């Protein structure tokens, strides 16, 4: 009996990691585009790097929130596939893409209106002026970025996560090439600096979205799964079902990423050097987070399947293996940040002031890696159980009621500057991990 249990735990972890691998690489790819931009823009100067951080702190809020809303496509497609309803898969694809276009255009309109108020965020004037052209190019890239994400959600919901990963990695390579050509004016191209990074991002995201859609249309495995009509046959109940599931997940993403973006705005009050250091730390922390996030997504998919089959013991085993793997992985990440923070900072910029500030932030980043991994593992299992409303309110309370106010107190009242702001975020993540773990324990007991 004990041997069987050990074998089951090993097989559960293997199955989760097999599903998670391409998801992790795909998520890393999304973040790597921003990291590459940060690395290359950092060679231009501190002000352009601060401007890129300022723009991305704003842009990431609608991007990640709407990715959360579109996560409903993955859930619904996987459920329809499990039920053997191929026609319903096509309906989800059609309605998912239509919803993507609508929410993207609305968000782009709001971001466009926000361009009138860029000088109201308390940033240095040199940062705001450097950001304006880059801001508009990044805003235009929202639609292709979300279009790709919707198609990626369809593929992952069907259990095919490799192709979206390959397409995105190709997009990263293109982004690096275009950055080199347009930021630095290589091979006779105009030297556009930060504006060149914006053009590179826009062009790369458009091509990635186009390739992903063309691949979906031509892939033999999609025969019988694609919608019969693309531009008609829309039904409100279908949109309502997507929104009922997706809005709480989108709100949860909004609360989390909004808190980090708000922290970035506060750090910007300290000057362009502090903001550049924040951007460096955020880029590295985001890359590290993609591993537990991808494993969490895979955990949610597998917990959902186990729940559908009434396998309550399997649900707990899937979560337990995910949690322990995530704990070990985040401890390793924490060690890297604690020991190598200064070295990492030097890879981005030459300014000793920025390097020292980033190295201090990395100490806090290393410590909260563990809290971040624990809370996202719990979230994955809860989403698999379709428990999204209570976790949404937990994230609101821990990030907006605790993390941001604590960051302000630590950073500005107590005088710990950017390190204090990040310490507030770490406190919020710790509290989120504890409360989400308690919620998950309650759901497991309830399911018995």
Does pTM top 0.85 for this prediction?
Answer: no
For the record, the structure tokens of 320 come out as 């337990």
Percentage of the residues of the chain whose pLDDT score is greater than 90:
23
287 CB-side CA count, 13 A: 16
Q: Would the pLDDT of 12 be above 60?
A: yes
> What was the pLDDT predicted at 448?
64
Q: How far apart are CA 47 and CA 268, in angstroms?
A: 11
Percentage of the residues of the chain whose pLDDT score is greater than 70:
95
Q: Would the pLDDT of 5 be above 60?
A: no
Q: Would the pLDDT of 341 be above 80?
A: yes
Q: Give me the long-range contacts of 180-187 (CB less than 8 A, separation at least 24).
A: 180/40, 183/40, 183/41, 183/44, 184/40, 184/43
Contact partners, residue 227, CB within 8 Å, separation at least 6: 90, 91, 93, 94, 233
> What was the pLDDT predicted at 239?
84
Q: Would the pLDDT of 187 be above 80?
A: yes
At 93-122, the pLDDT tens digits run: 888 899 999 999 999 999 999 988 888 877
> Which among 194, 169, 149, 187 is positioned nearest to 37, based on CA atoms?
194
> What was the pLDDT predicted at 100?
93
Q: How far apart are CA 418 and CA 407, in angstroms?
A: 9
> What was the pLDDT predicted at 1?
34
Q: Give me the long-range contacts of 84-89 (CB less than 8 A, separation at least 24).
A: 86/224, 86/225, 89/158, 89/225
> What was the pLDDT predicted at 83?
66
Average pLDDT over residues 54-79: 81
Domains of the chain, residue spans: 2-447
> What was the pLDDT predicted at 31?
65
Confidence of residue 3 (pLDDT cuts 50, 70, 90): very low
Least confident of 228-232, 264-268, 437-441: 228-232
> What was the pLDDT predicted at 4?
44
At 230-254, the pLDDT tens digits run: 777 788 888 888 888 788 888 887 8
Average pLDDT over residues 24-37: 70
> What was the pLDDT predicted at 309?
67
Higher pLDDT, 287 or 216: 216
At 129-143, the pLDDT tens digits run: 888 889 999 999 999
Q: Are 89 and 81 in contact (CB under 8 A)?
A: yes
> What was the pLDDT predicted at 99?
92
Least confident of 1-5, 37-41, 194-198, 349-353: 1-5
């Amino acid at each position: 009996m004990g041997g069987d249990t050990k074998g089951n735990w090993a097989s559960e972890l293997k199955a989760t990691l097999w599903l998670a691998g391409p998801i992790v690489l795909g998520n890393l790819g999304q973040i790597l585009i921003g990291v590459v931009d940060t690395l290359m823009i950092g060679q231009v100067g501190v002000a352009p790097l601060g401007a890129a951080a300022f723009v991305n702190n704003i842009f990431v809020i609608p991007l990640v929130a709407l990715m959360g809303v579109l996560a409903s496509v993955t859930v619904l497609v996987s459920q329809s596939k499990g039920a053997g309803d191929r026609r319903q898969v096509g309906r989800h694809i059609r309605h998912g893409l239509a919803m993507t276009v609508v929410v993207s255009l609305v968000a782009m309109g709001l971001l466009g209106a926000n361009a009138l108020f860029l000088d109201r965020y308390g940033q240095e004037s040199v940062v705001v002026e450097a950001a304006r052209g880059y801001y508009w190019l990044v805003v235009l890239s929202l639609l292709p970025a979300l279009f790709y994400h919707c198609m990626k959600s369809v593929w992952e919901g069907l259990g095919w996560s490799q192709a979206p990963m390959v397409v995105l990695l190709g997009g990263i390579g293109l982004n690096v090439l275009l950055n080199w050509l347009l930021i630095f004016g290589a091979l006779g191209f105009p030297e556009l600096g930060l504006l060149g990074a914006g053009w590179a991002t826009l062009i790369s995201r458009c091509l990635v979205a186009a390739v992903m859609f063309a691949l979906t249309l031509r892939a033999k495995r999609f025969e019988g799964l694609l919608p019969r009509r693309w531009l008609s046959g829309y039904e409100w109940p279908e949109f309502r079902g997507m929104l009922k599931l997706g809005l709480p997940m989108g709100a949860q993403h909004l609360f989390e990423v909004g808190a980090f973006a708000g922290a970035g705005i506060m750090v910007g009050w300290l000057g362009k050097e502090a903001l550049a250091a924040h951007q460096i730390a955020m880029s590295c922390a985001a890359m590290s987070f993609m591993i537990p996030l991808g494993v969490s997504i895979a955990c949610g998919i597998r917990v959902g399947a186990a729940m559908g089959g009434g396998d309550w013991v399997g649900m707990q085993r899937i979560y337990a293996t995910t949690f322990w793997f995530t704990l070990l992985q985040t401890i390793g990440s924490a060690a890297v940040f604690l020991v190598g923070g200064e070295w990492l900072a030097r890879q981005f910029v030459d300014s000793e002031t920025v390097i020292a500030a980033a190295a201090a932030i990395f100490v806090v980043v290393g410590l909260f890696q563990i809290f971040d991994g624990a809370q996202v593992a719990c979230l994955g299992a809860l989403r698999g159980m379709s428990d999204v409303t209570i976790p949404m309110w937990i994230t609101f309370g821990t990030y907006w009621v605790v993390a941001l106010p604590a960051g302000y107190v630590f950073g500005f009242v107590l005088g710990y500057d950017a390190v204090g702001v990040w310490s507030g975020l770490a406190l919020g993540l710790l509290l989120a991990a504890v409360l989400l773990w308690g919620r998950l324990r309650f759901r497991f007991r309830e399911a018995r």
